[in-house]
Amino acid sequence: MFDPVCTIFYVAILSFKTKGTKLSIQNSAIQIQTPSMFQGIERWKSGCHRNELLQLSNPIIFFIQQYWNDSTTVRTLLHHIKNGILNLKDTYEDETGDLVSESLKLYIAYLENPCKIFKNSELPRLNFQRVWNEKELDVCTNLLDLCFENRTKPDIVAAYINILEKFLNLKNQVFQDFDTADADDVDSADADDDDDDVDSADADDVDSADADDADSADADDAESADADDAESADADDACIDPDPDT
């Protein structure tokens, strides 16, 4: 799983990239791939496909669920995200009518009507505050604003984006560490349950073995007693004179 907040910031960064820039969403990480003559070959070698963009739906909805409010920061960020989606839409304009193109249109509708998504979404609400806080959201959004203000100065925009991408990589790693820790907790709980089951099974086996031993001992005692009684009776019969008159 990748960090939804990092994801939407990467999408927002696309608004400052040239047409033809694409996203790679693999191995719990997102990469921005700038257009070049080798872009197609590199995407083919790494197994990238435009259908990966279908994975953007949940991060966008999760972000709106978790952070939507009427603040200037959130509204500005949603505006940058929308522009990033529009850039992707232009990149895939030749694919009009396919699933990816229609999904991008849907994402734009989400971003234009966040209140509706916030109120009606049935996706579970996740606690991302342990990874992101409002100040960090403000800083990253301010970097996007600076990119917009200096959009005619490519070098300055590239510098701001470089800072933002480094920070996003760090936050994504923090998210992965939290996700791994949660998985370890679940595994530990399952292991404890398994240990309890094993202990219970061992106890049942011991009780069963003790019961079997007791039953076996009782049976042996009974057989021994019957044998002793039989031997005693035979001995008594042997001592009796069969003919008292002789």
Prediction pTM value: 0.69
| Cβ-proximal residues to 88 (8 Å cutoff; 6+ apart), any chain | 11, 14, 22, 23, 53, 104
Dihedral class, residue 49 (left if φ above 0, else alpha if ψ from -120 to 50, else beta): beta
| Cβ-proximal residues to 20 (8 Å cutoff; 6+ apart), any chain | 34, 35, 39, 91
Q: Per-residue pLDDT for the chain (246 aa), expressed as one digit of tens each?
A: 678 889 999 999 999 999 899 998 877 678 888 888 888 888 888 888 888 888 898 889 888 888 777 788 888 999 999 999 999 999 888 765 688 888 999 999 989 888 877 665 555 555 556 678 888 989 999 999 999 999 999 999 999 999 999 999 888 888 777 756 554 554 555 555 555 554 555 556 555 555 555 555 555 555 555 545 545 544 444 443 444 443
Find the angle CA(237)-CA(243)-CA(245) to the nearest 5 degrees: 140
End-to-end Cα separation, the chain, in angstroms: 107
C-alpha dist (Å) from residue 32 to 9, 14, 94, 148: 11, 8, 20, 18
How far is the C-alpha of 164 from the C-alpha of 176, rounded, in Å? Answer: 18
- Is the distance from CB of 168 to CB of 6 less than 8 angstroms? yes
Q: Residue ranges per domain, the chain?
A: 4-190
- Is the distance from CB of 132 to CB of 172 less than 8 angstroms? no
Q: Which of 4, 7, 3 is nearest to 24 (CA)?
A: 7
